[in-house]
Structure 1
Amino acid sequence: QIANGIPNAGVTGTINQSVIHQTIEVSVMISQIKEIIRSVLGLVINSANFWNSVVSAITNTFTNLEPQVDENWIVWRNLSATQTSYFYKILFSIQNEDTGRFMAILPIAFEITVDVQKQQLLFITIKDSARYAVTMKA
């Protein structure tokens, strides 16, 4: 809808589906989501800086949550002794030689449920494993 209101804008890809539903190490999940983002973009982006930023943002979606606890891009919901659910919003954009005169923009909303209590989730690292259910809307 937003792209329809912008002259010369278009949508190259969308996703609204469950992308993870298993017990998984966080680092593996980050790699899988990076590849999903690569696919949804529908463009070949060769910029190492861009992909490093993508990996960093995805990593912060699942780790280092304690300093982000009150930020606007994270919304906590359904907290219990055994499970935590939250929404996490990210916006990527790039305009370089790969995109030519166009800017590629990818807004993502993650809906995440983890089978751990919030206090434990705030300190999860990339080496930790937990049962995740992740829906990605982009």
Structure 2
Amino acid sequence: MDAEEIALLCYIRRRKMKKEKKKKKLWVNPFISDRNRSGIFFKLYGDLRKSPEKFFNYTRMSIASFDELLNLCRNDLTKQDTIFRKSISAAEKLFVSLRYFASGCSLMELYYNYRLGHTTICTIIREVCSVICQY
């Protein structure tokens, strides 16, 4: 074997080892994928709607006002479901945003409570603000 063949074999072996070492990334973090069962929206939203005082305390908005605002914004906030995932509902987007406005809690707190990605939460809040400003 000459020097070029040895160098080529070393290169091929090194590439193979790098591929094996690469840690496979998950498309969705398991913590976030459990959102439909463990996220606050799915646990709390229905219960809060049964108690107008608690709903107001949590969102700083009455149920009637929430529903009116949701009906105004629904078309602009609703995205299409795909084969790979269900989209986040307009009600959940509005609920998360109102909680952020009402409490001033951190985005990381929303991440842990609602089980939505940090970037997703930022996008939702920006989107909801933009839609509300249109009306």
TM-score above 0.5: no
Larger radius of gyration: 2
Q: TM-score, normalised on structure 2? A: 0.26
Relative to the length of structure 1, the TM-score reads 0.26
Task: Give 1 or 2: higher helix fraction.
Answer: 2
